[in-house]
Amino acid sequence: MLLACDIGNSDITLGLFQDGKWKYVWRIPSIVDRPELFYGIKIRDIFFEVGITVGDIQKIVISSVVPDLTDKIINVTVTLFQKNPVVLGPEIYPRLPIQVLNPYEIGSDLVANAVAAYTLFKRSNIVVDFGTALTFTTLSDEGKILGVAIAPGLKTAIKSLSQNTAKLFDVPLEMPSSALGKGTSHAIQAGILLGYEGLVQSIISKIKFEMKDENLPVIATGGLSSVIKTLLPLYSIIEPNLTLEGLRIVAIQEGRQS
């Protein structure tokens, strides 16, 4: 079994790959001031609930965009599984099947996305990741990351608005029937969800224009990739576990190098 760990700003996503598929995917909130013991107990309890022992894990791979959590999770995996994890970062980028732009600036989660997308299509493509941030990563036919566009994620944008209004609103991520908001929640839905509909359409269109390829494959990933239904026809494929899949490919390749 392979355990992939994607440490993001909102959640730590854990994926367990077995028998050719992601058998389990779990999420733990990313809380930087929690001690290692907290995460160790969380992971151990998750495994206990599904009847998997730590000895079943043969390989571990980690991506992190939260420096304050990186060493904690590495130490937890070493303690629990008695194995050194593969950590996706600039040191191993030269061995990947893609070329990484600005290796010390780009998030390793975007690199994992790019690895999975290029492995899937073997040509230029766009990866749209609906996470804490909304990102658009474009690759060339040769597998080079050409550039990234970043905007606040859907939940991030709604949370920002909600926290700065006189009253706090729990706004559901549902497409409104009208752009004419009849109340605060409806108004935020109209502004954010309809606004992001146009944002995603516009950025994809501009990338395709710059790439001179209207048939450029577009891969959507992230937990909110299917929220805006009107965008679904733009995507060649929706793969919620794209980052984990990229990490799996990296782990296999690094295993061959050792």
CATH no., domain 99-245 = 3.30.420.40
Which CATH number among 3.30.420.40, 3.40.190.10, 3.30.1540.10, 3.30.310.40 corresponds to the domain 2-87? 3.30.420.40
pLDDT of residue 195: 95
What are the tens digits of pLDDT across the range 67-111? 999 999 999 999 999 999 999 999 999 999 999 999 999 999 999
Of residues 126 and 157, the one with the higher pLDDT is 126
Q: Which one from 68, 109, 129, 170 is the annotated catalytic residue?
A: 109
Its pTM surpasses 0.85: yes
Domains 2-87 and 99-245 share a fold: yes
What are the tens digits of pLDDT across the range 185-243? 888 889 999 999 999 999 999 999 999 999 999 999 998 899 999 999 999 999 999 99
Task: Confirm whether 45 is a catalytic residue.
Answer: no
- Say if CB 244 and CB 25 are below 8 A apart: yes
What are the tens digits of pLDDT across the range 133-190? 999 999 999 999 999 999 999 988 888 876 655 555 678 888 889 999 888 888 888 9
The domain segmentation of the chain, as residue ranges, is 2-87, 99-245
